[in-house]
Amino acid sequence: MTSENLDHPAKGILFILIGVVAISVNDLLVKMLSDGYPLHQTIWVRSFVGLLFTMVFLQFEGGFQALRTATPGIHLLRGMLIVLANMTFYAAVAVMPLGQATALFFVAPLCITLLSIPILGEKVGPLRLAAVVVGFLGVVVIQQPWSTEISVSRFVLFLPVIAAFFYAFTQVLTRKLGVSAPASALACYIQSTFLLVSTGFFLVAGDGRFAQGVENESVIFLLRAWSWPPMADVPVFIGLGLCSGLIGYCLSAAYKSANAATIAPFEYVGLPLAIFWGWAVFGEWPDMAMWIGCGLIIGAGLFVFLREQIKNRPLPGRRARWGRR
């Protein structure tokens, strides 16, 4: 990424805030639809509508020629990792409080720090490693392994953390391979991958036969049969597609506009939004362990960002060279 791409912090912050709001609404809508539709149907409709919106953005960033790439395999791999991150996260959202799932997913920046050691060869000092430990301690507090009164299985509680690792690996891979393309093109690659995977799910499991006799609600959400939505649900699916288009474009545009250290902390706005939606729509309110765990995870994540900014502080007259998350 050239320094010319990193000269608009206000623009980057605006894009990330729009993207985070779209993510929170997207998660809310997916949870609302999880009782009646399989995840792969929700993703297919969301991605199809989102791709249409993204194509509009593409026309302002070079048109269809911008989709040409010398590294299609890299984009396919990135897309598959993001698909896995989404599937594992939404499988959890379907059966657990929205705020709790979101809080657990926010260990992703800490996972990025860990993965950057073996994959990027970065040196991570003891302070950042300590922050990672504190963040994962927050995960333990939220999951409460000592409690016998949990509303979901231990496996489901780990799904958002697994999703965070998939997401983190995607971002580290982006840094390592220097993935470069217009924001709309990157979003098109992702949406197309979602469409391919969800179509494959439909062809293999769209009749719901693999969900028969299954008791795990997350697995049922993944494998139940497709059903034609009534008119009342059509606006929800369209809203999902709009959110999907905004997410794909805004997150890419944000990290193309400003340094990651400037942009990334604003992603944490998504946690209070998730808690708000969980309370306002589903009557979910975090307990004390949840608040403590959230504090540990957010505090650790922000500390890591602060340390990375200090370690990569540019010399006078120069800008830091940050990869896009």
- Over the stretch 170-221, which tens digit does the pLDDT of each residue have? 878 777 765 667 778 888 888 899 999 999 999 999 999 988 888 888 888 9
Q: What does the pLDDT read at residue 311?
A: 65
pLDDT the model gives residue 256: 74
Q: What percent of the chain has pLDDT over 90?
A: 40
CA dihedral 264, 18, 160, 151 (to 10 degrees): 130
Q: What's the chain's average pLDDT?
A: 84
Q: Tokens in use for 243?
A: 């959110």
Task: Give the length of the chain.
Answer: 325
**pLDDT value of residue 178:** 59
The CA-based angle 289-294-296, given to 5 degrees, is 95
SS3 label, residue 1: coil
How buried is residue 279: exposed, middle or buried, by Cβ count under 10 Å (0-12/13-18/19+)?
A: middle
pLDDT at 322: 29
CA-nearest of 32, 73, 25 to 177 is 73
Q: How many Cβ atoms from other residues are within 10 Å of residue 119's Cβ?
A: 14
Residue 18 to residues 36, 47, 244, 295: CA-CA distances in angstroms?
28, 18, 12, 24
Residue 148, judged by CB atoms within 10 A of its CB (0-12, 13-18, 19+), counts as exposed
Nearest in space to 25 (alpha carbons), one of 280, 322, 253, 284: 280
Whole-number pLDDT of residue 323: 34
**Virtual CA dihedral for 259, 260, 263, 269, nearest 10 degrees?**
-170
pTM of the model: 0.84
Q: Would you tell me how many other CB atoms lie within 10 Å of the CB of residue 108?
A: 25
Q: What is the average per-residue pLDDT within 283-312?
A: 85
Give CA–CA dist 84/295, Å, rounded.
27
Say what the pLDDT of residue 196 is. 93
- Mind giving me the DSSP string for 216-228? -HHHHHHHSPP-P
Structure tokens that stand for 116 in this block: 């950057």
Q: Tens digit of pLDDT for each residue in 237-257? A: 999 988 988 887 887 778 777
